[in-house]
Structure 1
């Protein structure tokens, strides 16, 4: 995967999310499967993790520095994302907020020189290329997008 593919993949999620503004309010928080999040929760989850990347990962990548060692409470971050989505923000506002933060993320990734994508970066005790790091993030985006699309397509089939 090269820089342009990474940029395209990360930007495409914002376009995908824009198309979710037409989801009914009833379906917006309906669990994608038993015991799981709804679409609104996932969109908010994207926001929280994009903010994390912008604040706690990309500045270190930009400065050729290893990521600082600190405890990440993934469960709390995810719960906070869900709570935020359900605190009264409209579907349209949440999607607009996501597309704005994703645009900032794409711009920051774009500012990384192309040759750096094949270089190794220290992440905790692991070393991996930026290409591999961003590929993992893209796979995460795609997993959630597929879950939502499958839910919405399955729901349409039942009607």
Structure 2
């Protein structure tokens, strides 16, 4: 397997393990903001779901076809929607949805042949490889994972 593909696949596998560990935390801790004017852990988890769904349905099917990409939603709107949903639905449901969609995303990514990972693609105004695009998403995941871990250490 191509090194870049392996890196992304490994990240998603580790992310799923991270979610499984987070599922075991007390609900009060999951719903407590991680800082002043910050989301709670469950809101962070909930926001992964909507972004994974967007990537799975509105990016991956188009990226390797040369077809124009659907217009992306406003980040602020999607984040606000995901935060509200995570605050109002059962914690278990948020985790189940997030784990399910991440597994679907992992499955789809693992099906992409190695030769497509380093081809330059036009993503809006940028020219990136599929790997570079997915690495940016991985870095976003890691930013939030580090926030959660830091919050848990300080709890």
TM-score in terms of structure 1 length:
0.90
CA RMSD of aligned residues (A): 1.3
Answer yes or no: is 1:88 the counterpart of 2:93: no
Change (3 A) 1:104 1:26: same
Runs (5+) with no aligned partner, structure 2: none
Change (3 A) 1:53 1:30: same
- The number of residue pairs the alignment matches comes to 153
**What residue in structure 2 maps to residue 79 of structure 1?**
80
Give secondary structure in 1 for the equivalent of 2:128.
Answer: strand
Runs (5+) with no aligned partner, structure 1: none
**Residues 30 and 38, structure 1, Cα contact 8 Å, conserved in 2:** yes
TM-score in terms of structure 2 length:
0.93
State which of 38, 52, 55 in structure 2 corresponds to 1:53.
55
State the shift of 1:62 in Å.
Answer: 4.0
Give secondary structure in 1 for the equivalent of 2:112.
Answer: coil
**Residues 44 and 81, structure 1, Cα contact 8 Å, conserved in 2:** yes
Distance in 2 (alpha carbons) for counterparts of 1:97 and 1:76: 19
